[in-house]
Amino acid sequence: MSSTAPVRPAPPAAAPALSGRPRGRTAAWLATAAALVLVLLGGLAVGGSGAQAVPDGLSDAGPLVDLGAPVVTLVGRIAAVATLGALLFATVLLPGRAGGLAPTSRRAVRAASVWASVSAAATGLGAVLTVSRLVGRPPTALPWSGVRVFLTDTGAGQAVLLVLGLTVLVAAGARRCAGVPGAWALLAVALAALVVPAVLTGHSSAAEDHLFAVTTLVVHVVAASVWVGGLGALLVYGRRDEGLPAAVGRFSALALLCFAATGVTGLIAASVVLGGPGAVLAAVGTGYGWLLLGKTLGLVALAVLGWQHRRRTVPQLRAGRPGAFRRFAVVELFVMLATVALAVALAASPPPAAAAPAAGSASAVPAPTAGAPAAASADPMAGHDHGPLTVGVLIDDTRFHVAHPVAPGSRVTVFNGSDQEVTITAADGSFDVTVPAGSLMTFPAPEQPGEHPFTSRHSPAYADVLVVE
């Protein structure tokens, strides 16, 4: 009789499900990213960022730049928060013993290196897109001289260089970090990279009470970043660690403090930027006000979710049932990230006060001066006006555009969007600069406060007033 080969059993039916799990996780990440971009773009539409038409005679960088710049900003913001969260996890939430990192914390520090690299790349790309929007040209047509002027002569550009240096330092250091002291040092550097833009750029940096406004914004940014980054780190790195209940207990106390600090400083910062509590109430109904309301509702939702955590999911986690905590924390983290997207849209949107310049400001209609024709009626700076990222004097084929008053001795950014060389010559001789066609440059503002009328030697039709105050 012939023997028959034994029949091998079929593979278990569960194998395809296991192979499909990463696909489902990838799909969930992609869906989350798409939802956050939609929240961001919706916030920009509500806030009116870039909604104004470009002045006649000036070019526009194009829709890809206009849409890509805030998306890159959001990616960089999330990467910076994720870097901070990973390092916070290794130093505070799940620290090692005897100065050494626990295995899970070591993995978090290595991930911080990747997140910091993403943050650095987004910062660099964001700088290029910022210059592109300022001068109204696509990135492929940017002259290197314009990028150099932005990086070396403007506060926003100097902030970019500093953030790049700090994030690259974190990315390199996290690869070699093996102990808790080193992770603490990297955490301090990551915090510094987060607060630099708050100090040198943003609406609060241009407020009248600069020190108070910037301090408030720094506390707001740090508290919100620790809150969001800490929860994200617990979900990504600690969800299967046996020390998760202890880490959640530490984070719970920290999150309560961050919630209080974020809410209080957010209200104060809005009041400072808009000009007082009355101005905050007056902003209701404007695009800027709707974004503020959206952030406030997000904070309220997070307060409710946090209360539910303390009441239900944390006790279940301590009892050995972590599933409810993970599911609830995923929802909470998405609400946090959606609020971050609204914050990016809010920072890119002009406050209501910007729509109505005060009398005597540089963006108002200047009075005629002896020997100089009156300037044309003021019109919007459109995509060239971003608070501290403003092109101070914009030149087109027919006239000057002056954005707003400047501080004594500060650097005034100039972009010549015309196809001819133009001079900017003050009537009192306080400044006289030549701006080549298509170039971005800066010149020092007069030290003497007041109105400084200026014209151009190339064309008497160009006339405007630079207000120093």
pLDDT tens digits for 53-111? Answer: 455 445 677 778 888 888 999 999 999 999 999 999 999 998 877 778 888 899 999 99
Position 388 scores a pLDDT of: 43
DSSP states of 19-46? HHHHHHHHHHHHHHHHHHHHHHHHHHHH
Q: What is d(CA 115, CA 170) in angstroms, rounded to the nearest whole number?
A: 9
Is the fold of 32-348 the same as that of 382-468?
A: no
Position 417 scores a pLDDT of: 78
DSSP states of 135-180? HT--GGG--HHHHHHHHHHSHHHHHHHHHHHHHHHHHHHHHH--BH
Position 166 scores a pLDDT of: 96
Report the predicted TM-score, pTM, of the whole model to 2 decimal places. 0.78
User: Using alpha carbons only, what angle is made at residue 56 by residues 51 and 62, rounded to the nearest 5 degrees?
Assistant: 50
210 alpha carbon, distance to own chain's centre: 19
Residue among 387, 386, 381 nearest 401 (CA)? 381
The amino acid occupying position 244 is: L
Q: Tokens 């930027």 belong to which residue?
A: 273
Assess contact for 468 and 406: CB atoms under 8 A.
Answer: yes
Distances (CA, A) of 73 to 151, 196, 279, 415, 463: 17, 15, 28, 23, 36
Segments in the chain below pLDDT 70? 1-22, 49-59, 200-210, 353-391
CATH 3.40.190 fits 32-348, yes or no: no
Fold classification of 382-468 (topology level): Immunoglobulin-like (2.60.40)
Assess contact for 341 and 298: CB atoms under 8 A.
Answer: no
As a whole-number percent, the residues of the chain with pLDDT over 90 amount to 26
Residue among 216, 186, 183, 180 nearest 198 (CA)? 216
Q: Where are the domains of the chain?
A: 32-348, 382-468
Q: What is d(CA 434, CA 304) in angstroms, rounded to the nearest whole number?
A: 59
Helical (H) or strand (E) element with 192: helix 180-200
Assess contact for 55 and 379: CB atoms under 8 A.
Answer: yes
Q: What is d(CA 101, CA 91) in angstroms, rounded to the nearest whole number?
A: 8
Position 207 scores a pLDDT of: 52
Assess contact for 234 and 248: CB atoms under 8 A.
Answer: yes
Q: What is the pLDDT of residues 55-65, one digit of tens each?
A: 544 567 777 88
Residues whose CB falls within 8 Å of the CB of residue 19, separated by 6 or more in sequence, listed in order: none
